[in-house]
Amino acid sequence: MKVTEVTLDPPGGAFPGVDSTLAGTEGITRDAVVNLEWMDDGSLSALYRIATDDPATVAQALDGDETVRKYELLEMDGEWLYAFVHADRSDLMGELLDIADEYTLLVDGPYQWTEAGVRITVAGRMEDIQRAHARASEHFDLTIDWLGQYEPGHSGPLAQLTDRQREALEAAYELGFYQSPRDTNYEEIAARLDCGPSAANDLLRRAESALVAAVLDP
């Protein structure tokens, strides 16, 4: 069984419906879809993590979206605004999850937004991942960021990391990122990883989040 992380870039940089509303509103930055569920009637429930200086802007945007059935905003962590949204089905997002269902793939959140699109972690048989990739490529610009072996039997916090996240964490540690004061920056870490600074930042944030969750909520 394999696990892969892929980046999907939907047309226009957003899925039709509420996702496009949030993406197209000035003052709102989508960080991630923390949870995503389809209801029995075909509607969508999603928990967005959003960066904004004005929660009222988010409320106004959602109030003006006729596909939104109801929503609730939660201010947490001192940095993020969480938006629970119940909305009508997005055909394009629905197609994505239908592909995962058809090929019996496990899709693991959060769905992380980056400059290149939305990054998703998927696990399944290699042949099913390949078929799903071919189908999804008909609808999205799709990039495979990494592919590895799924290891459900491993334990401990480091087992929660992907190979790429562990590589980023090791590079940051070796370069002195976690010393006080820091001896390096994202540009130097990115050079070691052969990626951009924003990608290095994202890898470290995801690795740190996974480690904290594994330690505090085992």
Mean pLDDT is lowest, of 28-42, 108-122, 137-151, 196-210, for 137-151
Contact call for residues 190 and 200 (beta carbons, < 8 A): yes
Residue-range domain boundaries for the chain: 2-10+92-149, 17-89, 157-216
pLDDT band at 189 (very low <50, low <70, confident <90, very high): very high
**Chain mean pLDDT for the chain:** 87
Q: pLDDT tens across 4-55, in order?
A: 888 999 888 899 999 999 999 999 999 999 988 888 888 989 999 999 999 9
What is the fold, at CATH topology level, of the domain defined by 17-89?
Gyrase A; domain 2 (3.30.1360)
| Pairwise CA distance, residues 218 & 155, whole Å | 10
pLDDT band at 180 (very low <50, low <70, confident <90, very high): confident
> Are 2-10+92-149 and 17-89 in the same CATH fold?
no
Say whether pTM exceeds 0.95.
Answer: no
Q: Residue 18: what pLDDT?
A: 94
What is the fold, at CATH topology level, of the domain defined by 2-10+92-149?
Alpha-Beta Plaits (3.30.70)
Average pLDDT over every residue of 179-194:
91
Contact call for residues 206 and 112 (beta carbons, < 8 A): yes
